[in-house]
Amino acid sequence: MLLAATLSPPPSAAQDVEPIVHTLSNGMKFLLLPEKGDPNVAAGWVAKVGSVNERPGVTGVAHLFEHMMFKGTRTIGTKDIDKDLATIAELDKVRGQIRQEEQILLEKYRRGLIDDPHDPAVRSERHNELLKTFAGLIQSQRELIVKDEIDRLYSSAGASGMNAGTSNDMTVYFINVPANKLELWFWIESDRLLNPVFREFYSERDVVHEERRLRVDSTPTGKIDEQFDAMFWMASPYSWPVIGWPSDLEGLTREEALDFFGLYYAPNNITASLVGDFDPDVAIALAEKYFGRLKRNPRQPEPIRTREIPQLAQKRMTAEAETRPQVTVRYHTVPDANKDEPPLLVLGNLLNGRTGRLYKSLVLEQQVALQAGAGVNGLKYDGYFELVGVARPPHTPEDVEKALLKEMDVLRDELVGDRELQKVKNQQLAGDFRKLKSKFSLMIQLLSYDALGDWSNINEFSDRIQAVTAEDVRRVVRKYFRPENSNTLIYYTKDAEGAPAPTEGPQGDGGQQ
């Protein structure tokens, strides 16, 4: 099973990138960047959909769809498509009946008549019979499936690195393909969109639920970090996790998933990109031949309606976990491509890394922290900036918090020197330039920029970063780093009995300014 990759917002550009842009009549866009050399093509496409496009009740469906897109089509992944489809229809029917039984148990749980709606002992005889029938249908379906056939088709042709990733704002599918096998990519990827068969839907839903257990529930801080996100975002749909809430994963139906697919996986909501040694005229002809078969959805996905409301008071969360004592202070800032994003990026670089202000001050000079850093996260509709630090014994997380906020006070009061400012801007641009030398990285960046707004923004960030002044940095610190705009998470180390381990050392003021 291909596990989801967590996507981060794209880095800024450091050179001019001018792909050939070709848009099909159905609205699907292609960004083609021929580069002579290694006869290999980094190929991918992005559906402009992520967890932010979900709603309560179906959280996690975007990530689940990432998994389902590897399950094959009417011609790939099955020994007998007619039997396959008949089995899927029967599975949907029985699953609907099981859902009715589950609703009865949930109502009993709501009324306090049972303690656990998932306890097998409280199921009715009919419920158990339906589960037995469902398990038999799952087994019948497995006998019809040709497992991982998409991967084998690609691998046998010399392609490599097939995978995908879902984030809050997008879902990206990618692979490296030999240039002489490019038509195979056009056929397979268009067939996945034209003739998808979401076989193994319910068993794959359980796989995602297990992935959630491993990545979130079983980690020391996973569930608490989720709750911190939910506290931070009061109104925004960024408040729920990309992987989805457990109750939603348990209840998702294939019908709900199909409705989601029809809207967000239509060609007019997709951009594809090729970077490598290929003939653009041939690529355009193949795009018309294969992806041109896809039907445009007359409904264009609407922008997110519910936006975050201004925060009026400090919010704090204190937790105990099997981790080092640490603190995170997070502030609401701006979305990707906002005019204030470049100063915030420069601010992050001033603070972060071994040569950054936080490491020098908190780790080396004051020795209150083992680690310290900062960073900005510009999402499509909103964004945040956070300061983080791990306490060095005997200091407390409150000591680290106080030191972090003191560094921000310095930036609020004093302008950054020209030499330091230019150094971090040069580091940003040099790092971005190196990233653009990779075909794969460049392809991913083109797709990410386009999903977040417009691919051409990749060429604007160099000038926008260079234009940042010391006054710009001080301005964004004063604008966003206010106490009433802050959210603080403090972790104490849980001892063997489950209580916070005792700490000694000077106490901070809780971050009050």
pTM of the model: 0.90
One-character DSSP codes across 275-295: EES--HHHHHHHHHHHGGGSP
Which pLDDT does position 332 carry in this prediction? 98
- Are 336 and 236 found together in one domain? no
- Are 471 and 363 found together in one domain? yes
Answer yes or no: is 506 within a domain: no
Which pLDDT does position 38 carry in this prediction? 86
The parent domain of residue 120 ranges over: 20-158+169-293
Which pLDDT does position 142 carry in this prediction? 94
- Are 68 and 124 found together in one domain? yes
Answer yes or no: is 130 within a domain: yes
Answer yes or no: is 143 within a domain: yes
Answer yes or no: is 350 within a domain: yes
C-beta of residue 415 within 8 angstroms of C-beta of residue 344:
no
- Are 247 and 117 found together in one domain? yes
Report the amino acid identity of residue 423.
K
- Are 288 and 393 found together in one domain? no
Answer yes or no: is 502 within a domain: no
Question: Strand 29-34 and strand 20-23: pairing?
Answer: antiparallel
Can you list the residues of the chain whose pLDDT is less than 70? 1-15, 496-513
Q: Estimate to the nearest angstrom the gap between the alpha carbon of 168 and the chain centroid.
A: 5
- Are 322 and 261 found together in one domain? no
Answer yes or no: is 307 within a domain: no
- Are 357 and 259 found together in one domain? no
- Are 258 and 370 found together in one domain? no
CATH number of 468's domain: 3.30.830.10
User: How confident is the model over 200-215, as pLDDT tens digits?
Assistant: 999 898 899 899 999 9
- Are 288 and 340 found together in one domain? no
Answer yes or no: is 11 within a domain: no
- Are 250 and 350 found together in one domain? no
Answer yes or no: is 500 within a domain: no
* Domain count for the chain: 2
One-character DSSP codes across 158-209: T-EEEEEEE-SS-EEEEEEEEGGGHHHHHHHHHHHHHSB--TTHHHHHHHHH
Which pLDDT does position 455 carry in this prediction? 94
What lies within 8 Å, CB to CB, of 406 at 6+ separation is none
C-beta of residue 51 within 8 angstroms of C-beta of residue 242:
yes
Phi-psi region of 475 (alpha: psi -120 to 50; beta: other; left: phi over 0): alpha
- Are 124 and 204 found together in one domain? yes
- Are 262 and 140 found together in one domain? yes
